[in-house]
């Protein structure tokens, strides 16, 4: 069925969650560099500006460790990759990086690591959170699947947000990306637990996976809405030389499809936070700025020490591995200033969608 592109954009701009799967797929199918693509990005950016003006929220990313119990076929730090030099930051180091983030004006941080489920790890993260709490930072965790009890403890210790990417809403495709002991249903269950515990819930997908269709991606966006996500972190699939997942990869098309997913997601879910991922910068020097112009409103500069950045290598060509935290901040200021955007320093940048839900529940 042929869709009128301009009518889809008008419909999406009037109200959130107004498009169906085929309409979302039609947005994603617009030609690279076409007038339709230009109109898509402009419509999404207009909604972004309406929601948060020409402002960007920032989170300092701390890569706390690359030890992982998972063996995902696309990932450079999967447990079976013996060529990775493993590390785990100490509690003191993570707290010091959190203090550094506040010192350079970041009011929010993300603590990310490989997926580990153990009592010792749960205790460790809880201790980190309690030591960070006096800094009054907005803390996002991205630590994979965890029990409801572990998530409860971390929430009570001070975590406000949690990012758990579903990777794909297509269960059959998910099974091709993971060993048989990895459960799509468990991942969805954890997302539900996060919402029940009062976290700002973040999820996301990989874009351009081998075997993935535009309708798969359209259903991913519908999935974001169905789980009432408050924030989205997603990016293009970029192959890693030591990961089993291989397939056709074109940097330009991967970048464009990633930007279209940001735009279509903004048009479907108006008031959520959407990150312009670092992976975009691996595909183009101004990738994150392009992500902002396509409707994203969050940037997550990496503030981990340079000696560890290289070891947290999820995909080939990771950018910024030799930048200090301050250099990364200054470069972002410059790039975003060039497109008329302003970083909101000393502001947490919580999800508007989450704030509205919280008001309704009072």
- Render pLDDT for 192-248 as a digit per residue (tens, 0 to 9): 999 999 999 999 999 999 999 999 999 999 999 999 999 999 999 999 999 999 998
Tell me the two tokens of residue 362: 């009072």
For range 170-188, the mean pLDDT:
97
User: What mean pLDDT is reported for the chain?
Assistant: 94
Show the domain range for 182. 35-360
Distances (CA, A) of 38 to 29, 258, 297: 13, 14, 18
User: Residues 6 or more apart from 34 whose CB is under 8 A from it?
Assistant: none
Other CB atoms within a 10 A radius of the CB of residue 85 amount to 9
Residue 315: what pLDDT?
Answer: 75
| This prediction's pTM | 0.96
Is residue 4 in a domain? Answer: no
Residue 332: what pLDDT?
Answer: 87
Q: How many structural domains are present in the chain?
A: 1
Give the sheet arrangement for strand 231-232, strand by strand: 60-65, 108-113, 138-142, 161-163, 200-203, 231-232, 273-274
Model confidence at 70: pLDDT above 70: yes
| C-alpha dihedral sign at 148, 76, 166, 164 | positive
Q: What is the CATH number of the domain that holds 142?
A: 3.20.20.70
Is residue 88 in a domain? Answer: yes
Is residue 25 in a domain? Answer: no
Is residue 3 in a domain? Answer: no
Residue 360: what pLDDT?
Answer: 67
DSSP letter, residue 133:
G
Residue 21: what pLDDT?
Answer: 98
Is residue 30 in a domain? Answer: no
Residue 1: what pLDDT?
Answer: 53
Measure CA of the first residue to CA of the last residue in the chain; give whole Å: 44
Is residue 286 in a domain? Answer: yes
Structure confidence by residue, pLDDT tens digits, 72-131: 999 999 999 999 999 999 999 999 999 999 999 999 999 999 999 999 999 999 999 999
Model confidence at 362: pLDDT above 60: no
Give the separation between CA 264 and CA 29, rounded to whole angstroms.
11
Is residue 20 in a domain? Answer: no
Model confidence at 361: pLDDT above 80: no
Say how many CA atoms lie within 13 Å of 272 toward its Cβ.
29
Is residue 18 in a domain? Answer: no
């Amino acid at each position: 069925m042929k869709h009128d592109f301009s009518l889809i954009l008008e419909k999406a701009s009037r109200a959130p969650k107004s498009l169906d799967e085929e309409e979302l797929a039609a947005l994603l199918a617009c030609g690279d560099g076409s007038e339709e693509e230009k109109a898509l990005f402009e419509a999404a950016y207009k909604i972004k500006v309406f929601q948060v003006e020409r402002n960007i929220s920032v989170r300092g990313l701390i890569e706390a460790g690359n030890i992982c119990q998972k063996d995902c076929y696309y990932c450079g730090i999967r447990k079976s990759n013996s060529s990775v030099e493993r590390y785990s930051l100490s509690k003191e180091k993570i707290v010091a990086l959190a203090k550094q983030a506040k010192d350079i004006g970041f009011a929010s941080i993300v603590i990310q690591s490989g997926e580990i489920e153990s009592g010792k790890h749960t205790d460790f993260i809880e201790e980190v959170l309690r030591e960070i709490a006096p800094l009054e930072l907005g803390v996002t965790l991205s630590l994979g699947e965890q029990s409801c009890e572990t998530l409860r403890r971390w929430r009570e210790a001070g975590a406000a947000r949690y990012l758990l990417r579903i990777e794909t809403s297509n269960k059959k495709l998910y099974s091709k990306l993971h060993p048989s002991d990895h459960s799509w249903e468990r991942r969805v269950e954890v997302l539900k637990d996060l919402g029940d515990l009062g976290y700002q819930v973040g999820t996301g997908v990989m874009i351009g996976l081998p075997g993935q269709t535009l309708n798969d991606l359209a259903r991913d966006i519908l999935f974001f809405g169905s789980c009432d996500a408050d924030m989205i972190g997603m990016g293009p699939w970029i192959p890693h030389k030591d990961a089993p997942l291989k397939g056709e990869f074109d940097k330009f098309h991967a970048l464009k499809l990633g930007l279209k997913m940001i735009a279509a997601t903004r048009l479907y879910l108006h008031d959520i936070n959407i990150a312009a991922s670092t992976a975009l910068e691996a595909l183009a020097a101004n990738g994150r700025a392009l992500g902002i112009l396509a409707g994203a409103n969050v940037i997550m500069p990496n503030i981990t020490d340079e000696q560890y950045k290289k070891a947290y290598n999820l995909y080939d060509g990771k950018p910024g591995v030799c930048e200090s935290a301050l250099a990364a901040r200054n470069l972002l200021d410059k790039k975003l200033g060039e497109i008329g955007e302003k970083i909101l320093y000393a502001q947490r940048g919580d999800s508007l969608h989450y704030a509205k839900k919280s008001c309704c529940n009072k």
